[in-house]
Structure formats: C-alpha cells, structure tokens
Amino acid sequence: MSSTTEHQYEPFDDPQWYRDAVIYSLHVRSFMDADGDGMGDFKGLTQRLDYLQDLGVTALWLLPFYPSPGRDDGYDIADYNDINPDFGTLRQFKRFVKAAHDRGMKIITELVINHTSDQHPWFERAVASPPGSRYRDWYVWSDHADKWPEVRIIFQDFETSNWTWHPEAEQYYWHRFYHHQPDLNFDNPEVRQAVKDALDRWCELGVDAFRLDAIPYLYEREGTNGENLPETHAFLKELRAHLDSKWDGRMFLAEANQWPEDAAEYFGDGDECHMNFHFPLMPRLFMAVSQEDRFPIIDILQQTPEAADGCQWALFLRNHDELTLEMVTDEERDFMYRAYAHDPRMRINLGIRRRLAPLLANDRRLIELMNSLLFSMPGTPVIYYGDEIGMGDNIYLGDRNGVRTPMQWTADRNAGFSSANPQRLFLPVVIDPEYHYETVNVEWQQHNPRSLLWWMKRLLALRKRHTKTFGRGGIEFVDPGNHKVLAFVRTPPDGDDGSGEVPVLVVANLSRHAQACRLDLSAHDGQSLIEMFGRTTFPPITDQGYGLTLGPYQFYWFAIERAPSRLSMSRMRDHALTEPLNDPHDGVPSVNVSGEWNALLRGRGLARLEAVLPDVLARQRWFGGKARALRNVTVSDVAPLGAKDDPTLHILIVHVEYVDGEPEEYVLPITFADGEEAGRLAATSPGAVLAEVKGRGAKAHSGLLFDALHDPRAASLLLDTVNRKRRSRTGSGEIVGRRDTALGSAAELADLEPALLRVEQSNTSVRFGDRFLMKMVRKLEPGMSPDVEIGRYLAGRIDHVPELLGTLDYQPKGAKEPRTLAMLHRFVPNEGDAWVYTLDELERFSERAVTDGEEIDRLFPRSNDPPIRLAREPIPDAPHDAIGPFLGAAQLLGERTAQLHLALAAAGNDDRAFAAEGFTRLYQRSVYQSMRNAVRRGLQSSRDSLDSITDEGARDKIVELIAREHDILELLRRLSTERIDTLRTRIHGDFHLGQVLCTGRDFVLIDFEGEPARPLGERRIKRSPLRDVAGMLRSFQYATYSALQFQVERGTVEGGTTSYEALRQRLREWNRWVSAAYLHGYFTAADGHPFVPADPDHTAILLDAFQLEKALYELSYEMNNRPEWVGIPLAGIAEILGDEEAT
C-alpha cells in the first residue's frame, strides 16, 4: 500500500469508520477568515478545529476548495490539483489535515468529475483542437442541439437546454448543469485516467474520503434519460478498485439524487460507493411534521433497499444546495412549496433555498425533533455548518448564496468571521432581526447551557455512547395506534463486539399538539424503559400495550434494558389531549348584538359572530372541513358591496384553522332580513338561513343573517360588478370585477332574473335568465382558479366548452396574484347533465333486460375482452342493437373528450403553464410513488373503517383486498419499470358524467377547476390526459351500479335471486360495451397524438393504474360516508385486478 512522503496517513482502526461518523459540512470560504481579506481560509478553519472537536463531529466534509472562477461556488473547477489561492496555500492545507487527524477527525472533500469549468485548461485545449481530435474528445460535442431529448434539464430556472453553442469550436457542447460547466467525456480512457490521477493526488495529501458530485450523469446514451447507466456503474467499480488497491481506509460518498431503488445501485455489491445520500427521505421528514403524519417517513424507508455489506446511507436535513424536491411526486412538491416556501424567492430550480431554522419557523422544539430523527435513523448523520446554532439565511442573495453566508462566531463586527471591512466580505452576514448575528452566534450559546448549541453537543455525545446501535443496527417500526406519532426500535448489530449496547426505542410526536399513543412492546416484556437523556426509569414493560403521552413535537430516546435495583422515578408532566369541538346542534345558531345587525361586522360584535361561525359552516354543504376538528374560526376580511351607507351584501373571508393539517379560507356572502321578509325566507329557503340575530338595546335589530346569493338584489350586484369592472375596497384588500368580453348594457342586465341553482356541489351557482351563469367559489385559495385559467386558454380553440366572460377577484394587500371569488360563463341551454341522462338510459335498458333478457343476451357478442381491447376496432352492430342510441352518444362523448385534450396539448413551448411535457423515467417513478402513497393510505383508511361495514360479504372482500396490498403495488410498479413514451398536459382533473351537459344532440364539458378537495397548486399540475378518461370509465360503472340498486329498490328484482344475477350480468355487459364505445371515440379522435401511447399495452397500464387509484379512493370514501355503496368500487377494483367474480 502507498504511503505519503509529505504527511503520514494514520487510518482509524476500523476501515468502516464512516458508519459510526458524525459528518459536519462546511465551505472553507464561509467558516473563518484568518487573514482579514473577507473570505474564509484554511488557516482560519484550522483555528476553529477545537470548536468542531468539542461539538462532537468526527468527519469534516469540505465543499470544493480548488481553483475556480467561482460561478457555481467552486463546483466549476479550473484545476483539480491545487488550492484556490483565496483559501490559502497547499502548505496550509497540509497543516489543516494533520491538525484534524490529530483530533480524530476525518477529511472528506469533493471529487467533481462530471464536469469542469469552461476555464479549465482541458476545455480550452479541447476548444482549440479540431473536431474528432484527441483533445476535443475530452468533452462531449455535437453538430446539433437535438441529441438526447429525453435527458431532463436540472437547473430549470437558469438553463433552457443541455447543449450550448461554442462559436470558436463551432460545435455544441453538453452540460447537465450550468452552461459554463461542460461535461467530461467518460468514454475517453484518458479522461478516466485523469480522474484517477486527481484522486491519487489528494489521497497522498491525507484526504480520507471523497464525495462524488453528480455521479449519476457521467455517461450519455441514445434512448435513455442519461442517468444511472450501466457504464456509470462499471466506471465506479473501476474507480473503487483503483482506490482499494492503493489507499487503505478511504471512502466514496455518492451524490446520487435518485429514488431509493436506483440510489442503492451505487453501493453495487459493496464494490462501488461506500456511502450514498438518502435524498428521498430528507423532504419526507419535513412533510411528516407539516402533515403531522408518519406515513411519508415509513413509506419511503420501506421502499429503501438494504445497503450492501459494509455500506451506509448518509442522512441530512439541510446542506449547501437547495432543499431538493426532485425525488418527490408533483403533489408532494406542491405541498412542500405551500408549507415551506410561500414566497417565490425561497424557491429555486426544483427546490427550496432555506436553512433549517427558517424552514421550521425557528421553532426550537421542532428543530430538536428533526435533529433527533436525523441522529436516530439508520445511517450516518450530516450537519450543515451553522445549523447547530440555528443560523438564518438571506433569500435576497442570488442563486443559493442565501444559505452560504459567513459563520456567526460572536456578536462583534462581521459576526467574528473576519476583521475585514464589512464591504469586503464575500457575502454579507445575516442581519435579519430574528437571526441577527448579535443574537445567534457561537460565543453567546457557548455561555448558555440551555442553548441549541449545548443541546446539540449533548445529542452528539449521547449518540456516540450508542454509536454501533445507531450507526450499524437494525430498525423495527412499532405501531403506536396514532398516525401523528412515529415509533421504532433500533437494535444493536449482530455479534457481540463488547460494547454492551442495548436496543433503543425512539418515540416522536410529529404534531404541534400533545398526543397519546399505546405501543406493543411485548417482545421486551419484563424490561424497563430508561429515558436516555436524564437516565429516568419509566414503568416496566408488560405484555399489555405501553401507554405514553407526548407534548408538542416531543420525542423520547429510551434504552430498553433491565431496570436498576432502585427505581428513580421522576414526575412526568401531564399532557392533556385537545378537547374536540362539540357537534353543532340541529337548530340555527343564534348571535346577540347590541344595536343594528351590522355591528356584528366589527369589534366585539365580530367576535360574537366568529363564535357561531363553526356552527354556521358545519351546516353548509360546500364546507369541506366537516370531518376535521376545528381549532379556530376568524373573519380575516369584510368586503361591503353596494351603496356606501347601506351595502347590499358583505362578503366575509373566513379563516378556518384545524387541529390537524393546513388552514383554509372560505367565502361567505351575507345579508340581513327582518320582519316579513325574514319569515318568508325561513319558510321558503331554510337552507339560506345562516344565523338568527337577536338584537338588544334601544336600537335593537333582530332578524336573520342569510346567504346573500339567495337574494336576487345581491346576485344582480355581483353581475353588475363584473360588467362594470368595479373595484371595492375592503379592510385588507379589494374586490375587483374583470370582464373578458362585452355583456350588454346595465339596463339589459338588470332585467335578467337571478335563479340559484340547487345542486350539490362545492361551489354555488346563479343563473341569470338564459344568458349567464355565475359560479361563486366557496373555498378561497391564492392564485387564479384553474377554471378561469383553462377557460381563457380554451377560448377560440374548442367549441364544446362554455365561454368565459369575466371574473370577480379578491386582491389581498401585498399579494402578487388575485384570488378568484367568482367566474361568469355564458349559459349553455341544456337538458341536464350526462349523469341524469345516463341513469335514464340505464333505466330503460334495465326494463328491457328484465322483460326481454334472452334477446339482450343474444345480441351481446360472446367475448371477455376488456373495453380497451374492444375499443381498438369499430363497435359491432349487435351491441348497438342491444343498447340503443346511447352507445353512439358514448362514442361522441369520447370524441369530445379527445378534442379537449388535443386543445390542451396544443400550447407552444413559450406557454409554460400549458406546454406539454414528455414522460421521463424520473417522472414515471414519481407517478408510481404518488399512487403508492394513495394506495397505502386508502387501504389503511379502509382497515380503520371496517367497523362501518355490516354486510359480511362486503367486509370479507375488503379484508381480502387489504391483504393483497403487495399485489396491487406490484401491478402499479409497471408504471416505473416500463418505459412509457407519452405526454403530460393540463387536464380537466375531475372528469365524470356530472361534468358534462347534454344539449340534446351533443355534449358540453364544464367545470375545469379540478378536484375541489385538492389544493390549487396540485390542480394545476400537468398529468396524463388518460386520468380524465379513467375518471369517465369509473363514472360509467357508478351509473351502472346505481341502476341495479334502483331496480332492487323499486322491486323489479330481488337481491340474491336468479333474476338479480341475470340483470347484474347484463348491466355489466352494458358497462363493458359503453366503455368500449367511449374509448373507441376517444382513440379515434386522438389518433396519432403522443398523449396516447403508441403501444396499446402502455395505454392499458396507465388506464388500469388510474382507475385503480380512483377506485381505492372511492372505497375509502364510501366506507366513511355510504357503506351500502362499497360494492361499486370493490367491483371496479376486482375487475382491474382480473378477478373472475368482478361485479
């Protein structure tokens, strides 16, 4: 083995030292400036090694310190063999390495080999060489910029292509990151040897380990996404063999930002990288505490393959880059932006550029909880410099510099980082009031034993005493019976190494409120739980459930061991569970007011109104929070509309906070009635009444508070506000009317009689004569409603959608985007929606099927082919004869659906909101993960709701279905294993028969807001148009089952009889052929367009997956709301899974 001549390398006794390490990540330029030039250096870092040793870290990961133009914080390397002169000299580096080793700390540095700077001599030499020559071949070139189109662009906020034209070289060069970072050509043996030479250079200088930056992207191959290619793994094995043959105790740490199964491949068989960052786990830790649900953590760990022998995952909360959201689903990414990056300046590429403390709102309890999870989960923890003291960030600095500011050592000038003039600093120190360096610094926290810094020291010291269990042990999850609590046992590794370590129970409350749980610890019966921080003994474990109560964001680390002979029980604080709100009483709530009723809209009167709003909301069919426990309801704004001294109505913006989950805002337009008008309203429209107002005092005003949309005057005023583009100031913003096209004169509009549509829906619609339809949005969200966005986009592109005429918006003060309050469409004369039309047709068919069943059976072709297979050919005459004209209507509806999708896919690339995007392997993996989440949550919900099912047969089927979770996930896995060539676009998003109007001879597609229960950001996500198709197929099945139930209820057939079974089979055939006709119309109209995969098998994979996801959601919904309807989704699921008894 090689030894150095300049610094004798002394490895730790254990060659797998990295499995027990605590890694501290820092940038030399950000840590300590010893020479006063405003930039950190190796001399300053060496001076601070005692601090790092005292903290308890055992390895230092240094970000790039090589010569560089500095356009990507050193990751644009101009020389692999030297030190950036801004950071010091090679001699100072050697002193630093020796000093670190003397303190028992390993050194990890960056080996950035995917690319170099465009100022590297290698690239300059390549540019100067002719195409095809030896040196030109060190990089990747092309005469055209359309090569490898499937490769994603990583820095989407900065680059529009992976190719950049070089005028001097007269060719395009390839770059996966910034255009000033050309990619090396690893097909060239000289490049591979140059990398080995650089590796040897730093090993000779005493470097212990290398983080392999951007390692999945080394090679490019036609027809691939350019990631995780076999050639990359082959080269890693070659590089690892070179390392092992020459250097003892060294380590590779892969930066492979991939899904778990792909990331694990970088361990190889223990012959590639020793360690790998667990990128998918990191964002799910943040998801879990924001959603107050352990599911994201458990699910991703269950998908994580075990590391190869001797290998280890590296775990982290934050680092020098953005909090990457590449390995999450589109829905999860939207959630993370809403939860942690409400200001667009906090976002960059596909991530969030914030430090740990600001991400967690500087909540000390939450910061401690997150670190406790980081240090107790399987893997090696990585701390980012400054997070141990809770440093803040600066989102106003460019790129990711906001999280790379100088380390805050003292309250002195420049935070003790440098003696330079503050204007010379490479970046300004943080002076945000909450995180100001005069308050947040090492010196102050060193003198405060209750500071975050001291807490972190104690945490590291405690982990060190159990290093083998935490670093190399196993993990066993424990079900706490409460989804807000995460519990697991870390078991010591196999084999007695003399450490005497014991199992450790970790229990963490992911909620901001106190929680109770009960753990099955019977496997440790007779032992005791010893709280590890205070060595407090808890009651002994029995074979009964072990109850614990945890405060907000509280966690426990318990050693499971024999109880000491003397029990020293400390008194545990009682944590009361939140009191649930009482169910609203059946009567109309009442509110007292002194003087006139509008005193309820200000001051103490408003507080009285807010007190009854929970009851008011619970009675509204559009309120989506009925199943959630309310914490607080307030009025955030009041918008009067009409005459200044006597407004016709007031629009209330109601802010609703829940015990669990994100808050919501609702729109409540109100007005007042008294005397005879109040009596008439209570008699004719009791659903309009919101509350009874009881006046007190000389100017007492008693009557009814009611929903203003029931008042024709109020509805007409809303229409006039849109027509005249009126603006009305509110306490916290303004109401703005916007008109897209002329509506007519004010007099013409005044003659239109408003009529409230009494339809069950999440919004409320008012019809104005036969000309307009206004839809009031009830759940208010930041940004434009997709119904408005898509409506404006579709204008002039397609005929079979209502014309959008205008909107009513709410513009809060300081908000960049208005919020859609209402939208105005041209009214479409119709004969009802397609749901009613379909049920009417099914009733007629059912009557024929009962009275003339043999003829129906004769007409249906004998075939068990699924609808998607039948749809590939024209529908035969016989099914037309059996079903009648509705089969042609279904085909027409399929054509209209395809025309919608064709229009939505027609946007140019300059329209980012609508431009179609191709499926990539990464996106397919994301879709699989999204569906996996939905399936597992749906089955868990079904398991929890089994008691609601009284039908034993249905209950047995649900139990069988739950037991088949693995089979379902394997079916869905085809989404990630099969390469599917198709597009994703904007879609309808909530497509079913109720979203289609029948005009007599045609169909009109309506309501493009998406699923109202989903956040607005999720509803704007681009998806496969086949999701809409799957929604319509599920709607056909629901209609079929409804028809069967109706025939039972009216006594035509009796359940369990031969006639019932015969009708069921004939309705099943009806559904099969109607679905086939719909699909045939769709495929015919969409023929050749890439949003339908060219491979029919791939189309079937997508449709099966989307239908299965929807059916499982339906099962959960029906179990909780209409248990007698569970047969519908069960039948759909059985059919997709290929069960013979599908009904």
- How much is the pLDDT for 580? 32
CA dihedral over 172, 177, 179, 185, signed as positive or negative = negative
What percentage of the chain has pLDDT greater than the value 90? 76
DSSP 715-737: HHHHHHHHHTT-EEE-SSEEEEE
Q: pLDDT band for position 1014 (50/70/90)?
A: confident
Residue 576 has pLDDT above 60, yes or no: no
Q: 1005 near 801, Cβ under 8 Å?
A: yes
At residue 570, does pLDDT exceed 60?
A: no
Give dist(CA 962, CA 576) in Å, integer: 34
- 999 contact partners, CB below 8 Å, separation of at least 6: 828, 829, 830, 831
Report how far apart, in Å, the C-alpha atoms of 178 and of each of 147, 399, 668, 1017 are: 18, 12, 49, 28
DSSP 3-state helix, strand, coil percentages of the chain (rounded to 5)? 40, 20, 45
In three-state secondary structure terms, 260 is helix
Q: Which residues, in sequence order, are CB contacts of 496 under 8 Å at separation 6+?
A: none
Determine contact, residues 1080/895, Cβ cutoff 8 Å: no
Q: Does the pLDDT value for residue 495 go beyond 80?
A: no
- The contacts of residue 341 (CB under 8 Å, 6+ apart) are 347, 352, 354
Residue 398 has pLDDT above 90, yes or no: no
3 state SS of 826: strand
- Asked if CATH classification 3.40.50.300 holds for the domain at 121-174, the reply, yes or no, is no
Could you tell me the pLDDT band of residue 924, with boundaries at 50, 70 and 90? Answer: very high
| Lowest mean per-residue pLDDT among 151-160, 194-203, 447-456 | 151-160
Contact predicate 704/678, CB 8 Å: yes
- Is the backbone of residue 228 left (phi > 0), alpha (psi -120 to 50) or beta? left
| Alpha helices for 515-602 (secondary structure H) | none
The per-residue pLDDT for range 654-687, each reduced to its tens digit, is 999 988 778 999 999 999 998 888 888 888 888 8
CA distance 180 to 74: 12
Mean pLDDT of 600-628: 90
- Are 883 and 1070 in contact by the 8 Å Cβ rule? The answer is yes
Q: Is 302 strand, coil or helix?
A: helix
pLDDT at 1116: 85
Q: DSSP secondary-structure letter at 115?
A: B
Look at residue 795 and give its three-state secondary structure: coil
Kindly tell me if the per-residue pLDDT of 579 is higher than 70. Answer: no
Lay out the sheet containing 555-561: strands in order across: 474-477, 485-491, 504-509, 555-561, 528-531, 536-540
Encode burial over 250-270: b for 16+ CB neighbours within 10 A, e otherwise.
Answer: bbbbbbbbbbbebbbbbbbee
DSSP string, 7-36: S-----S-TTGGGG--EEEE-HHHH--SSS
User: Helices 834-851 and 886-904 meet at what angle, rounded to 10?
Assistant: 150
364 CB-side CA count, 13 A: 8
Sign of CA dihedral 132, 135, 136, 140: positive
SS (H, E, C) 663-711: CEEEEEEEEEECHHHHHHHHHHCHHHEEEEEEEECCCCCCEEEEEHHHC
Paired residues of 826 in beta bridges: 772
User: Rounded mean pLDDT of 826-855?
Assistant: 92
Q: Hey, which residues are catalytic here?
A: 213, 255
Residue with tokens 């190399």, as numbered in its chain: 472
User: Which segments within 876-1033 are labelled E, that is strand?
Assistant: 917-918, 983-984, 996-998, 1003-1005
What the block records as the tokens of 545 is 């459930």
CB 218 within 8 A of CB 231: yes
What is the pLDDT averaged over residues 870-887?
Answer: 93
Q: What is the pLDDT of residue 759?
A: 63
Task: Work out the pLDDT band at 747, boundaries 50, 70, 90.
Answer: confident
Most confidently predicted of 498-502, 578-582, 996-1000, 1134-1138: 996-1000
Q: What percent of the chain is predicted at pLDDT more than 70?
A: 96
What is the C-alpha to C-alpha distance for residues 1109 and 1119, in angstroms, rounded to an integer?
16
pLDDT of residue 571: 28
Q: Assess whether pLDDT exceeds 60 at residue 319.
A: yes
Per-residue pLDDT at 330 exceeds 70: yes
pLDDT of residue 1050: 81
d(CA 398, CA 73): 12
Identify the pLDDT of residue 3. 39
The band of 10, judged by pLDDT with boundaries at 50, 70 and 90, is: very low
Lateral strand order in the sheet of 351-352? 323-324, 351-352, 347-348
Q: Report the distance separating Cα 531 and Cα 506, nearest Å.
A: 10
Say yes or no to pLDDT of 569 above 60.
no
Cα 152 from Cα 351, distance rounded (Å): 15
pLDDT band at 568 (very low <50, low <70, confident <90, very high): very low
d(CA 551, CA 531): 15
Could you tell me the pLDDT band of residue 636, with boundaries at 50, 70 and 90? very high
H helix or E strand, kind and range, residue 625: none
Please check the confidence at residue 441 and state whether its pLDDT lies above 60.
yes
Q: Determine the pLDDT at residue 951.
A: 86
Between the alpha carbon of residue 666 and those of residues 614, 617, 761, the distances in Å are: 12, 9, 14
Name the band, by pLDDT with cuts 50, 70 and 90, for residue 207: very high
Q: Given pLDDT bands bounded at 50, 70 and 90, which one contains residue 156?
A: confident
pLDDT at position 13 is 65
CB-CB contact of 384 with 400 (8 Å): no
DSSP β-ladder status, 703-707 and 664-673: antiparallel
pLDDT of 809 higher than 80:
yes
* pLDDT band, residue 1097 (cuts 50/70/90): very high
Residue 727 has a CB neighbour count (10 Å cut-off) of: 12
* Whole-number Å distance between alpha carbons of 78 and 82: 9
Q: Dihedral sign, CA of 543, 545, 549, 555?
A: positive
3-class secondary-structure state, position 48? coil
CA distance 409 to 842: 76
Q: In this structure, are residues 344 and 351 in contact, taking their beta carbons and an 8 Å threshold? A: no
Average pLDDT score, the chain: 91
What 8-state DSSP symbol labels residue 655?
E
Range 122-139 average pLDDT: 96
pLDDT tens-digit series, residues 59-91: 999 999 999 999 998 999 999 999 999 999 999
Q: How many helices (H) and strands (E) does the chain have?
A: 34, 40
Looking at 961-1028, which runs of residues are DSSP E strands?
A: 983-984, 996-998, 1003-1005
Look at residue 574 in the predicted model and tell me its pLDDT: 29
323 beta partners? 352
Taking a C-beta distance cutoff of 8 angstroms, is the pair 662, 338 a contact? yes
Per-residue pLDDT band for 424 (boundaries 50, 70, 90) equals very high
Parse the chain into domains and list their residue ranges. 121-174, 711-827
Question: What is the number of other CB atoms lying within 10 angstroms of the CB of residue 796?
Answer: 8
Cα separation, 696 vs 458, in Å, equals 62
Contact 473, 492 (CB under 8 A): yes
Structure tokens of 586? Answer: 């059946």
Three-class secondary structure of residue 1122 per DSSP? coil
1059 has a pLDDT exceeding 50: yes
Chain centroid, CA 784 distance in Å: 20
Tell me what pLDDT residue 585 has: 34
What is the pLDDT, as a whole number, of residue 547? 95
Q: Which residues contact 129 (CB under 8 A, 6 or more apart)?
A: 135, 136
